[in-house]
Structure 1
Amino acid sequence: MNEFKGKVVLVTGASSGIGAEIAIVFAKHQVRLSITGRNEENLKKVAEECRKLGAKEVLEIIADLSKDNEAEKIVEETIKMFQNMDILINNAGTVSLSLLSKATREEFDETFDVNVKAVVFLTQQAIPYLEKTKGNIVNISSIASHFYDPKVLLYSMSKAALDQFTRTVALEVAEKGIRVNSVNPGYVPTNILRLICDTSEEKEDFQKLSSTLHPLGKQNLTVEEIADSVLYLASERAKMVTGVCLDVDRGRSLTGQ
């Protein structure tokens, strides 16, 4: 029996990478999808793929979660279309590379606006609807939340805040029957790499180095593996799991690297 069939799933940052794959995996289970992203062209392509794979309905919302009131707009449009919500996937995120000595207020604000502030207020808006359906939330965090690399200070801080949010909100909404968890991936090659590397050679070198740091298989994670982990946490198989930040990293966090 398909437990997800007909459920309403909202996925942020779904125009590419991990978010797109999460939407695609849920589409195969015949859900009703609300997907958001900043790139309209890419979001349309993802929506079409989701429809082909079995999504019953797909709502596309162009939104920039670095801006105020976008969270409210996303939830409002989702509820207007579907009347309820069963699963919220807070996936949208950004990466900044900067040592403390070179960090700017603009970088700080953008990183925390997207990775933390947007999640807080989108979740706040969604809770009343998730309470009605006894739904659940899966946040996409990172193992960077608990390792220490000066080059990703702001990003790591934002993901540590997201982990704290996940655990604390899970406790707050448990009495409402809502579960809140996160998936914390190791390195996944996606388009976000453009924010880290300037040239194709740098990208290739970065990916080769990163793969050696994942003990299990000595390879980087795939978007499919992250999406499968999200599907598990959102499913009835994880009905007793809440407040968990699940490292999906081929053992990298065990090495401290």
Structure 2
Amino acid sequence: MRTPMPSVEPDEIGWLTEAQMVEVDRVMIEELQIGLIQMMENAGRNLAQLVLQRFDPSTVTVLAGSGGNGGGGLVAARHLANRGVDVSVTLGQPVEKFGPVPAQQFEILQRMGVDTATDPPRSDVVIDALIGYSLTGAPRGRVGELVAAIGDIGGRVVSLDTPSGLDVTDGSVPGLVVDADATLTLALPKVGLRDAVQVGELYLADISVPPSVYDAIGVAPAPDFSRGTVLEIATL
């Protein structure tokens, strides 16, 4: 049974382009000293919460890319495993190509004994954490293969920040794209998600961005997370 999340109307919050989200990340890391590992932990914990509360799965497959988006998926895998879910992880790149923080998250999962599979197993829910907001052309290589196969892996698909393959600024699809049942976007929603059918249900997660950061880049209003760290954005 679906457990409702607190909701917010689309016009009650600001919406970001890719360039603005890059600036949010820069301010967080360089000026406020709120590091990637902290934001990644917040993203992954909220993603696990959404998956459990919305779909209550027994099995979850996490598809993780090599960047911050993949790291958030790996954090979610840890939280889900800690809650008794049977979790399997498939990487979109060899771990040697991962950034330092996502690589550390993968090492934690290995130490925990979380399953890693070259061929992702079927599961109740698939987490798409392959490509974040910095899309550069159509998904290709192993990531493209996983995007193409995602519909055959699980019953429900939950994307982190954006369905992989979707341009978050203009909503265009340069090639393969994930068709998600739900998307958990981070900080503020991205403008390209607003009319994209691939998004499914749209949720927003608190990753601890202070409202002053949005004020500094001229995007308002900031979301009110006082009712919970995950908000459902009402049907657009």
TM-score (norm 1): 0.40
| Structure with greater helix share of residues | 1
Structure having greater relative contact order (Cα 8 Å, sep ≥ 6): 2
TM-score (norm 2): 0.42
| Structure with greater strand share of residues | 2
Larger radius of gyration: 1
